[in-house]
Amino acid sequence: MHAGLLLIITSCNFTEDELVQVITQNGTNSLLVWKKIKYPSFQFGGQAGSTICSIAFIKK
């Protein structure tokens, strides 16, 4: 990937935090979170969440 290009991922298997951790490798690679798409959320067991998350990453 060239600098400035975007990678957009939608997942129903990962939380936002998990997806960011996996894709950015805890900040050790050259991808950064650029934007997040907001979806309707719900609460269960005291936790708020969504059944889907979409995140756009940008290459440094």
pLDDT band with cut points at 50, 70 and 90 for residue 1 = confident
What is the percent of the chain where pLDDT is above 90? 72
Domain range annotation of the chain: 6-53
Which token pair is 1?
């990937």
Question: What is the value of pTM for the model shown?
Answer: 0.82
Mean pLDDT of the chain: 92
CA 8/CA 10 separation, integer angstroms: 7
CA 53/CA 60 separation, integer angstroms: 22
Query: 57: burial class by Cβ within 10 Å (0-12, 13-18, 19+)?
Result: buried
CA 31/CA 7 separation, integer angstroms: 9
Interior angle at CA 24, CA 58 and CA 34, nearest 5: 30
